[in-house]
Amino acid sequence: MFIDTSVPGAPGGEPNWPFCRSCKQEILVGQRSRTIDFSSPNPALKKLGGTYHETCAEPVMRVKRSYEMLRMRRPGA
């Protein structure tokens, strides 16, 4: 497996290189990313939380928004 060790800003090989949760590709330096945090007791939704490319985050943001709207209507859901 090819590992690029010449990434600027990652001395010593940063093991927690961000991977997009949607497309599973690395989020490279200079690419816009978004971290989505689901404050939900639902583990299926919580699993959606993480870091995404900004474009990949859009559908997840829609899920999050509709979920939060549901929550507002049904507190405790």
**Interface residue list for Zn ion (CB under 5 A):** 20, 22-23, 53, 56
Residue 20: CB minimum distance to Zn ion, A: 3
Between residues 29 and 72, which has the closer beta carbon with respect to Zn ion?
A: 29
Between residues 22 and 40, which has the closer beta carbon with respect to Zn ion?
A: 22
Between residues 23 and 63, which has the closer beta carbon with respect to Zn ion?
A: 23
Cα–Cα separations (whole angstroms), residue 10 to 5, 17, 20, 52, 61: 8, 9, 18, 19, 29
What does the CA dihedral 22, 28, 31, 33 come to, rounded to 10 degrees? 40
Q: Which residue is nearest to Zn ion (CB)?
A: 20
Residue 17: CB minimum distance to Zn ion, A: 14
**Residues 55, 20: Cα–Cα separation, whole Å:** 10
